Structure 1
Amino acid sequence: MKKIKIGNTDLEVAPINLGGNVFGWTLDEKKSFEILDAFTAKGFNFIDTADMYSYWVDGGEGGQSETILGKWMKERGNRKDIVLATKVGGETGTHPVDTSKKHILEAVDKSLQRLQTDHIDLYYTHFDDEKTPVEETLEAYDEIIKAGKVRYIAASNISPERLEASFAASEKNGLPKYEALQPHYNLMEREGYESNYAALAKKYNLTVFPYWSLAAGFLTGKYRSKEDLNKSVRGGSVEKYLTDKGLGVIAALDKVAEKHNTSQATVSLAWLLAQPQIGAPIASATSESQLQTLFNAPELQLDAEDLALLNNASK
Structure 2
Amino acid sequence: MSEHSSTPVATPPTGVPVITTEQTRAIVGSMPVATRRRVSDSDLSVFPIAMSGNVFGWTADASESERVLDVYAAHGGNLIDTADSYAGGRSEIIIGNWLRSRGHRDDVVLATKVGKSADHPGLSASAIEAAVNASLRRLRTDRIDLLYLHLDEPEVPFDETLLAVDELIRAGKVRYFGASHHTGSRLIEARIASAQLGVARMVALQNHYNLVFRTEYEQGLARVAADLSLGVMPRFALAGGFLTGKYRSKTDILGNRRESEVARFLNRSGLKVLHTLDTVAAEHELPLATIALAWLLSKPNVVAPVVSASTGDQVFDLVAAVAVSLTRSQLTALDRAGE
Q: Hey, what's the Cα distance between the residues in 2 that align with 1:246 and 1:257?
A: 16
Q: Hey, what's the Cα distance between the residues in 2 that align with 1:95 and 1:105?
A: 9
> Residue 14 of structure 1 aligns with which residue?
47
Question: 1:7: how far off?
Answer: 0.8
Q: Hey, what's the Cα distance between the residues in 2 that align with 1:254 and 1:175?
A: 47
> Residue 249 of structure 1 aligns with which residue?
273
Segments of 4+ moved more than 6 angstroms:
none
Task: Pick one of 197, 211, 218 that aligns with 2:235.
Answer: 211
Task: Pick one of 88, 108, 120 that aligns with 2:114.
Answer: 88
Partner AA of 1:89 in structure 2 = G
Partner AA of 1:16 in structure 2 = I
Question: 1:12: how far off?
Answer: 0.3
Partner AA of 2:59 in structure 1 = T
> Residue 103 of structure 2 aligns with which residue?
77
Question: 1:231: how far off?
Answer: 7.0
> Residue 272 of structure 1 aligns with which residue?
296
The number of aligned residues is: 306
Task: Pick one of 60, 76, 95 that aligns with 1:43.
Answer: 76
Q: Hey, what's the Cα distance between the residues in 2 that align with 1:32 and 1:131?
A: 37
Does the alignment pair 1:196 with 2:229? no
Partner AA of 1:21 in structure 2 = N
Question: 1:233: how far off?
Answer: 2.1
Partner AA of 1:224 in structure 2 = R
Encode CA deviations 1:143-174: one digit per residue, 9 max, x unaligned. 10011100001111112222111100111110
Partner AA of 2:50 in structure 1 = N
Does the Cα contact within 8 Å between 1:134 and 1:162 map onto a contact in 2? Answer: no
Partner AA of 2:337 in structure 1 = A
Q: Hey, what's the Cα distance between the residues in 2 that align with 1:231 and 1:215?
A: 17
Encode CA deviations 1:84-124: one digit per residue, 9 max, x unaligned. 000011254x665x111110011100000000000000000
Flag the 1:79–1:95 CA change in 2: closer, same or farther, 3 A. Answer: closer
Question: 1:294: how far off?
Answer: 0.8
Q: Hey, what's the Cα distance between the residues in 1 that align with 2:47 and 2:77?
A: 5
Q: Structure 2 matches for 1:212-227, cutoff 5 A?
A: 212-227=236-251
Task: Pick one of 71, 80, 90 that aligns with 1:64.
Answer: 90
Does the Cα contact within 8 Å between 1:253 and 1:310 map onto a contact in 2? Answer: yes
Q: Hey, what's the Cα distance between the residues in 1 that align with 2:219 and 2:236?
A: 18
After TM superposition, the score normalised by the length of structure 1 is 0.95
Q: Report the 3-state secondary structure (helix = DSSP H, G, I; strand = E; otherwise coil) of the residue aligned with 2:160.
A: helix
Does the Cα contact within 8 Å between 1:125 and 1:155 map onto a contact in 2? Answer: yes
Q: Structure 2 matches for 1:276-315, cutoff 5 A?
A: 276-315=300-339
Does the alignment pair 1:164 with 2:188? yes
Query: Unaligned stretches of 5+ in structure 2?
Result: 1-33
> Identity over the aligned pairs, expressed in percent?
46
Does the Cα contact within 8 Å between 2:84 and 2:117 map onto a contact in 1? Answer: no
Does the Cα contact within 8 Å between 1:253 and 1:268 map onto a contact in 2? Answer: yes
Task: Pick one of 201, 214, 218 that aligns with 1:177.
Answer: 201
> Residue 57 of structure 1 aligns with which residue?
none
Q: Report the 3-state secondary structure (helix = DSSP H, G, I; strand = E; otherwise coil) of the residue aligned with 2:116.
A: coil
Q: Hey, what's the Cα distance between the residues in 2 that align with 1:152 and 1:113?
A: 19
Q: Report the 3-state secondary structure (helix = DSSP H, G, I; strand = E; otherwise coil) of the residue aligned with 1:151.
A: strand
Q: Hey, what's the Cα distance between the residues in 2 that align with 1:304 and 1:252?
A: 14
Encode CA deviations 1:178-199: one digit per residue, 9 max, x unaligned. 0010000000110001111101
Q: Structure 2 matches for 1:131-146, cutoff 5 A?
A: 131-146=155-170
Give the CA RMSD over aligned residues: 1.1
Question: 1:295: how far off?
Answer: 1.6
Encode CA deviations 1:12-69: one digit per residue, 9 max, x unaligned. 0010000110100000101111111111011110000000001xxxxxxx11100110
Does the Cα contact within 8 Å between 2:125 and 2:164 map onto a contact in 1? Answer: yes
Partner AA of 1:84 in structure 2 = L
> Residue 3 of structure 2 aligns with which residue?
none
Does the Cα contact within 8 Å between 2:166 and 2:200 map onto a contact in 1? Answer: yes
Q: Which has the higher contact order (CA 8 A, sep 6+)?
A: 2
